[in-house]
Structure formats: structure tokens, C-alpha cells
Chain A
């Protein structure tokens, strides 16, 4: 069945370095992917999304890359800051209903001062 998963459950990054968070998906028909950030004790917060007709999309300090050949997407955070410490989730539509999102288990990013 379809599944969305992240390669590593934890990531420790030095402040100022770039972070790369990876996500693998299995549903080749997915046409929309979303990254969420969840800080401790809070609900998930939308970061950036990308459609399957794109390979790359940039936001403020974040870039999402989509490789449909190997069904992989990544979230890159430039110049990681202490406020970037959080759990990051990738999500994709579950089946044919775009509103039913399937979330990965998440990667916990810890920024070292």
C-alpha cells in the first residue's frame, strides 16, 4: 500500500549549517507533497508544498526537491537556526482524495549552538 516515510528519525545540525531532511514515498500517482514543521507542544505548521510537475520549489530559507524517478523528496533548510529545532513531517494525499493526507513518522531536528 501507499506509505510516506522519512529516512532518519533524528538529525543533529550545527547552527548556521544547512539541514537536509529526506522523505521517501511509494505512491507514484501522488501529485502533491507537503512539508510540515511541528514544534514541541504545538500543532503542525505548513512550511512548503510542491506539485509533481515541479522538481524544485523555494521558500524563505527552505527548498523542497522532488525526484519522481526514485520517489524521493527532501527539505533543505539554509543556515539552520535554533528556532528550526522541531519535528518535520512530509505528507502526501492518500489515494485519490487530495484532502486525505498521509503523514510520515517525522524527523526530529536538533540545532546545536
Chain B
């Protein structure tokens, strides 16, 4: 199993540009989520999904969209990038609600 994969590893955007961060898992996990991690802070939940076709907002959803058309994939879209979205983004998946979450390697995003 590859586990949770994320692409790209690094990305630089200009303010106002849009892009999609990709996340995929091959463990047939129902639950997937996106977090951002900023210096000196823990991970903050952006959006999550409890299954294909079902998504919900986390703690900091503004400026981000998600969709879950398949069990495997959970892309995160930045519609109009802002410098405040400069962060490291992690995708995670788990088998069920109270099972451990497996994290991807992260995407380091810089918005200038």
C-alpha cells in the first residue's frame, strides 16, 4: 500500500491564482480530511469527508473547497490564493471515526 499520497510536495502561487492540492489513499478508508499547519500552531481542520459524496466544514474552511467523488480521492481547491494561505497542508484518512488517522507527507504552499 502507498498509504496517503499528496501532490505536489511544494507549490508557489501568486495572489489570486487558483490551484488544486491532490490527495489519494489506497486503504479503502471512508474518512478523509484536510489540515493546515502553521508555525507554532497545531494542525487545524479545514474540511473533512465521511464518505464519497459527503463533505463538511472544519475549523478554518474559508477560501477552500473540497469534493469527494470517489472513496480514494479528496482534492482541496484554493479558489483565489491569498498570502494568509501560505502553510503546510496535510491530508489524512482513517477507517472509521475513532480509528487512527493516517497522514500524508504534506504540501508546502507559498502564496506571494
Contacts and interface: CB of A to CB of B under 8 A. Distances in A.
B103 A100 contact: no
B41 A42 contact: no
A105 B42 contact: yes
Contacts, number: 57
User: Which bucket holds chain B's interface residue count?
Assistant: 20 to 34
By secondary structure, the A interface counts as strand
A62 interface: no
A103 B41 CA distance: 9
A103 B42 contact: yes
Contacts of B40: 9, 105
A103 B43 contact: yes
A104 B29 CA distance: 25
Interface of A: 4, 9, 32, 34, 41-46, 49, 89, 91, 94, 97-106
B33 A99 contact: yes
9 contacts: A43-B90, A44-B103, A45-B103, A89-B43, A91-B42, A101-B101, A103-B44, A105-B40, A105-B42
